[in-house]
Structure 1
């Protein structure tokens, strides 16, 4: 990676615009948060107020001794009205990139972290035949402004998540609320089919996948036209799926339905991003629940440090390209569990590297306790707490644990 010359391994944190910046009022997600009924527990509001406090956030990463920072450039801010690009938003993100570089942080840019402009959702999002062109135009605008200074380009964040959630055994009320939310949004927006990337209906999966695939390829072409040397890929949500005797067929069907299409697409790219939070064990009757007494995360699945290695190894096995861990963490309000998970998980990752898997870096999700989509502020994945009134950031013990791990690897 030319922009990370001298850096053998990227050590970073991952963040996302809508979840951190706050008041992303021109986005589809903001609109969905405010219709009734809505699947979102609470509106995002000011989130972590990172639009104003972005320098504070970069300072926190620098103080931890990191050398990379992943963030998204919000399309809804850059192009709030179709065909009209905001000079202020572009200037903000340019300052953000320059702020990363001034602090020794390689800027890892995500162009679509679930959210899109409200006007794009009114056009049915990725179901619109012109969606790839519209996305590529946005990417081209950003690349012209600041593409010469970024280190890694990630087109899409977790385009496989809708399929993954069909395997998550969510209560039926969630799917019912998602459908009701989109119906309410369509009515409120005065269109027949309001669609979004992070609230998706099963009958739209194939069309949305096709649209995102074409958009990914179009964006990659644009990025490479500006920077042939810039590494480009997409990031995938990946559980470490393992099987005991009799569970192999179910595990393999899950892999085929959720990951394999995207991993095969990633074979065209410079890397594939892996985002892992859990391991699931399959037996003849389905998922085997955690053993009594085993620590679990806020989703109720066991905290398994070895899950990251399993996901990374499978991603490389199918795609054949290097892996960048674009997210890894644990959803828990017990920071001791997070702190205790970090060391063994990263040790397992380096075992995979020793066994020949090319891994470009590791980004922990996330820097701050932030807005976790439909769960609002009820999930906790940050290395720092955020006061919901003052937005003051306070490091958790896990922040020091991660910083110590990075220091040892870089020393």
Structure 2
């Protein structure tokens, strides 16, 4: 075997989000929607991983793996629990996380909105509210004023295309019905005509919400750049590696037009585009082609394919034309052997893309901890560390060691071909 090295300055990190790890995010829209009846959320987030209190432990875990970057989200609902009222305690908290990252040699990659928003924002209709972009930019500006001088990368929105992407997945019809019922129940409980979330959307509202989020990104980007023009700013999008079987690309191309292209075109004015990839799906002229019988599958039911990451990155860069930051990549599986075997070939494929000229700034694995996975609750495992649901004790899995070794070396192994 021989080593192939990534470029100097390549970021090696892990990604996570506030609501999924912190716990007790009681002023957020998702917390509220978890409590209503009926709800599409399998279970409430509750204490999650207790990371609001145990954040130093989590940052230390990342640093102990020899990583150079730590992506986390600032929870808008904590920072601005009531419209126009900002919490100094919450700002102090997130500022301390940034400073701890820097003290331990980790570049702070900060997401300003990772799906969850304040309860008051959802009561106004979320991103359907014409004033939503201005409200989001105001919040981003307040965060930047507090510690924007010390963060390394700014991500405005996380996966604004996810709801549209999910329409292409084979989810049971009762899930769609339950999403609608959840929003009805939340609206009634909140006493408003339309309580709206970013991660539970009605099909007929997706375009209008996307318009609001597009305007929100533009407004937030401007607010961030006004305060710090040198800070790399972008957004992250979910990108499945969609490949064509045969010579009819019509279905694949229609999916790309519906799911990705708005956001990749938007990213042309950004400093980078964040790519979040977990799977590859094959399409012929009729639709999705099921995985081969007996192929190893992840918990989403798609085939385990390490090279999906490189495919997604190449496509995103081709359309957006800006550098790529892999803001999430991983695998939903309770079998850590699959995850451990998956990481290096995925990164080898990513390095192939880099060597072919695709500018990739770094790789952030999802995720450090097994956490709350939205409507799936705690039934999906993506973490490099297991979290005991009673004690919240973190325990490293073998995959954490595999990833740490690659990050420390900044290289992957490739077979030496005789000749």
Task: Give 5+ residue unaligned stretches, structure 2.
Answer: 1-6, 413-419
Distance 2:100 2:409 in 1: 25
Distance 2:338 2:84 in 1: 47
Q: CA deviation at 1:246?
A: 4.2
Distance 1:327 1:407 in 2: 19
**Structure 1 residue aligned with 2:311:** 310
Are 2:139 and 1:138 aligned? yes
Distance 2:8 2:69 in 1: 10
Distance 1:20 1:160 in 2: 22
Q: CA deviation at 1:290?
A: 1.0
Distance 1:137 1:393 in 2: 36
Distance 2:395 2:49 in 1: 12
**Structure 1 residue aligned with 2:153:** 152
SS across alignment from 1:69: strand
| 1:169-318 aligned within 5 A | 169-318=170-319
Deviation by residue 1:111-155 (Cα, 9 ceiling, x = unmatched): 010000000000000000000000000001000000000000000
Q: CA deviation at 1:284?
A: 2.5
Residues 86-95 or 287-296, more deviating? 287-296
Q: CA deviation at 1:410?
A: 6.9
Are 2:353 and 1:352 aligned? yes
SS across alignment from 2:334: coil
Q: CA, structure 1 residues 247+301, in 2 after alignment: closer, same or farther (shift >3 Å)?
A: farther
Flag as ranges the 4+ runs of structure 1 deviating above 3 A: none
SS across alignment from 1:38: coil
Question: Do 1:247 and 1:286's aligned partners in 2 also have CA atoms closer than 8 Å?
Answer: no
Matched residue count: 406
Residues 370-379 or 206-215, more deviating? 206-215
Deviation by residue 1:36-89 (Cα, 9 ceiling, x = unmatched): 000000000000000000000001001100000000000000000111100100
Question: Do 1:290 and 1:301's aligned partners in 2 also have CA atoms closer than 8 Å?
Answer: yes
Distance 2:211 2:159 in 1: 14
Q: CA deviation at 1:293?
A: 1.7
**Structure 2 residue aligned with 1:119:** 120
Task: Give 5+ residue unaligned stretches, structure 1.
Answer: 1-5
TM score, norm. by length of structure 2: 0.96
Question: Do 1:132 and 1:214's aligned partners in 2 also have CA atoms closer than 8 Å?
Answer: yes
Distance 1:325 1:36 in 2: 37
